[in-house]
Amino acid sequence: MTALEAVATYLPEQRVSIEDLAARLGLRPIQVKLFRRFLGLSQIRLDPEGTLLDLLLAGAAGLDALHGREHQVRYVLYARTMPVVVPYPLNPLHELCRALGLDRAIAFTVTHHACATSLLAVDIAGRLLAADGEPDALALVLTGEKTFTRDAQLVPGTSIFGEGAAACLVSADGPRDRLLSYATSTRGEFDGRLEDLPELAARYEQEYPDSLAQVLLAAVAQAGLPLDEISLILPHNVNVVSWQRLSRKIGFPVDRVLLDNVPVTGHAFCADSFMNYATAMDRGLLRPGDRYLFAAAGMGATFSAMVFEH
Amino acid sequence: MEEGTVTAQLDTVLRRRVFDSIGVLLPKVLSRETGTVSDSTQLMSDLGLRSATMLELLLELEEDLEVQIDVEDIDQGDMNTVGDLANFVAGHATTDD
C-alpha cells in the first residue's frame, strides 16, 4: 500500500501583500478588498531572483529521509499545474536529479490535472513502485512553481498564487502515512481560459461544489470510512470561503479543514496539500491512526481526493 | 410592543434598504445598465453575476449601508434571486459601530 515516508516544504522569505500585487495583477481596490475580506487571502511568498531549480531544490533540501538513500530512488515525479514552465531545452528536473545525486532515477513531469496533479503523482509513484516489486525502492514527488505570468498568479475573483515548494518521499509500502484511497474526476468540458469565456466560467462555478464534494465523498467511501472518521481535510488553498461552503455542503466541520495557510501563502499551485500536511504535523493535529483527506481541484477541470492513514 | 415585533419591523426596514441598494449598485458592479429588478430577478441567469461579482456587490452594499455582512454562512440558495440576496444580507448584517 502506497505510503508517504516523509514530506518537506519550503516557503521563500519574501512576503508580498495582495495590496502590493494589485498593480501588477490589474486589480481594482474593491477586488483587493474582496480577496482580503471575503476570500481570506492576505499575502503570498515570492523569490523574484530565484529560478525554478532553486525553488525545487529548496523544497527537497529539508527532506532528511532522503539523505544517504539517493540510490534507492527509482522515480522522480515533478507534479505541476502549468503545462509549460521553462523554454525548451531547459529541464530543471534533470538538473535537480544531478544536483541531488539521483542518477538511478527515471525523472518525468506529471501535469494536466492542474492543481490536483500532486495527488495524481503520488498515485502514479505508488503504482510504479508496486509494479517494480523492489521493497526498498522509493519515489520522490516534487512540487513548486514560479509565478511567471499574470495567468500563473491570478484566478480573477477566486485566488492568488504564490511560490513555495514541497518534496515527498513515497514508498510502495510502509507504516505511515498509508494511502487508503484515491478518487479523481476529470471534466474536460471545463477546459478553457475562464476569464475569456463567461458562460463556461459560470457553468464551472455552478458545478464546482458538487463535483468536488463528489470526489471527497467517493474517496472516503472507497476507504470504507464514514465521513466523521476523517480527522482533517488538507485542502488546496484556493480561498477560504469556497471551503467553508463545501464543508457545510458535505456536513464536515469547517474547523477541521486546515485553512490557516491561505492568508499566509496564497495558493501555492500543487504544493498546498503537502504544506498543509507539514503544518498539521508541526501543530500535532494528526495522531497515529488518524485518517485525513488531501483534496484539490485543478482548472481544466480535475477534482481529486485521497484518504491517508497517519 | 413586544421585543420580537420591534426586531421583525427593523429587519423589514433593513431589507427594504438592502433591496433598494442592490438595484442602485448592480449597474456599478456589472458596468452596464440592468433595468428595474424585482425580488424574483435571477442574479446569475438574468443578470450574469458570478461569485466574484456577487462578493463585489456585497462589499458595495457594506459601504452603501454602513454595515458589515457575515458571509461565512452564505450558500448558493442565498444568491439565486435579488430577493434571496436581500434576505441574506438583512439577516447577516451588523452595524459598523
Predicted ipTM of the assembly: 0.80
A276: closest CA of chain B, how far (Å): 21
A46 φ, ψ to 5°? Answer: -140, 155
DSSP label at residue B69: E
Q: Does A201 contact chain B (CB < 8 Å)?
A: yes
Q: Domain A3-171 carries which CATH code?
A: 3.40.47.10
Q: Is the pLDDT of residue B2 over 50?
A: no
Q: Do A30 and B75 touch (CB under 8 A)?
A: no
Q: Per-residue pLDDT tens for A181-233?
A: 999 999 999 998 888 888 888 899 889 999 999 999 999 999 999 999 999 99
A33 touches chain B (CB under 8 A): yes
Position B97 scores a pLDDT of 61
Between CA A205 and CA A225 the distance in angstroms is 29
Percent of chain B at pLDDT exceeding 70: 88
Alpha carbon distance B97, B89 (integer Å):
17
Q: Measuring CA to CA, which residue among A5, A6, A27, A9 is closest to residue A18? A: A27
Please give the pLDDT value at position A202. Answer: 87
Residue recorded with cell 424574483: B40
pLDDT of B7 over the 70 cut: no
> Could you say which of B44, B71, B75 has the minimum Cβ distance to residue A202?
B44
- The closest alpha carbon to A58, from A118, A179, A156, A145, belongs to A145
Could you tell me the CATH superfamily of domain A178-309? Answer: Thiolase/Chalcone synthase (3.40.47.10)
Identify whether the C-beta of residue A223 lies closer than 8 Å to the C-beta of residue A180.
yes
pLDDT given for residue A284 in this prediction: 97
Contact A275, A166 (CB under 8 A): yes
Asked whether A126 and A170 are in contact (CB, 8 A), the reply is yes
Average pLDDT value for residue range B63-85: 90
Residue among A30, A248, A249 whose CB faces B59 most closely: A30
Q: Which residue from B56, B60, B72 is facing A244, i.e. has the nearest CB?
A: B72
Other CB atoms within a 10 A radius of the CB of residue A251 amount to 10
Whether the Cβ atoms of residue A114 and residue A50 lie closer than 8 Å to each other? no
Assigned CATH for B3-95: 1.10.1200.10
Q: Is A245 on the interface with B (CB under 8 A)?
A: yes
Return the pLDDT at B45. 86
**DSSP states along chain A:** --EEEEEEEE--SEEEEHHHHHHHHT--HHHHHHHHHTS---EEEE-TT--HHHHHHHHHHT-GGGTT-GGGEEEEEEE-SSS--S-TT--HHHHHHHHHT-TT-EEEEE-SSGGGHHHHHHHHHHHHHHHHT-TT-EEEEEEE----SSTTTEETTTEEB---EEEEEEESS-SSSEEEEEEEEE-GGG-S-GGG-HHHHHHHHHHHHHHHHHHHHHHHHHTT--GGGEEEEE---S-HHHHHHHHHHHT--GGGB--TTHHHH-B-GGGHHHHHHHHHHHTT---TT-EEEEEEEETTTEEEEEEEE-
- Nearest-Cα distance to chain B for A241, in Å, is 7
Q: Are A205 and B51 within 8 A, CB to CB? A: yes
pLDDT at position B51: 86
Cβ atoms of residues A205 and A158 within 8 Å: no
Name the minimum distance, in Å, from the CA of A184 to any CA of chain B: 24
> Is B59 in Cβ contact with A33 (below 8 Å)?
yes
Residue B21 pLDDT exceeds 90: yes
Q: Among residues A17, A56, A78, A80, which one has the least CA distance to residue A269? A: A80
Q: What is the pLDDT of residue B71?
A: 85
Does A62 touch chain B if contact means CB atoms closer than 8 Å? Answer: no
CATH topology agreement for domains A3-171 and A178-309: yes
Nearest by CB to A38, from B55, B73, B76: name it: B55
Measured between beta carbons, the chain B residues lying within 8 angstroms of A157 are: 50-53, 55-56
Query: Cβ–Cβ of B55/A39 closer than 8 Å?
Result: yes
A202–B71: do the CB atoms touch at under 8 Å? no
Asked whether A242 and A216 are in contact (CB, 8 A), the reply is no
Chain B contact set for A209 (CB, 8 A):
76
Contact B56 A245 (CB under 8 A): no
Domain boundaries defined on chain B:
3-95
**Which residues of chain A fall below pLDDT 70?**
none
- The count of other CB atoms within 10 Å of the CB of residue B27 is 12
If 0-12 CB within 10 Å is exposed, 13-18 middle and 19+ buried, where does residue B59 land?
A: buried
d(CA B45, CA A107): 47
**Closest chain B residue by Cα to residue A245:** B75
Beta bridge partners of A161: A267
What cell was used for A246?
A: 463545501
For chain A, the domains span 3-171, 178-309
For residue A206, the chain B residues in CB contact (below 8 A) are 44
Per-residue confidence band for B96, with pLDDT thresholds at 50, 70 and 90: low
Check: CB of residue A274 under 8 Å from CB of residue A163.
no
Q: Hey, what's the cell of B76?
A: 448558493
The pLDDT score that the predictor gives to residue B6 is 46
Interface of A with B in 93-122 (CB under 8 A): none
Which pLDDT score is estimated for B9?
52
How far apart (Å, rounded) are the C-alpha atoms in residues A208 and A203? 8
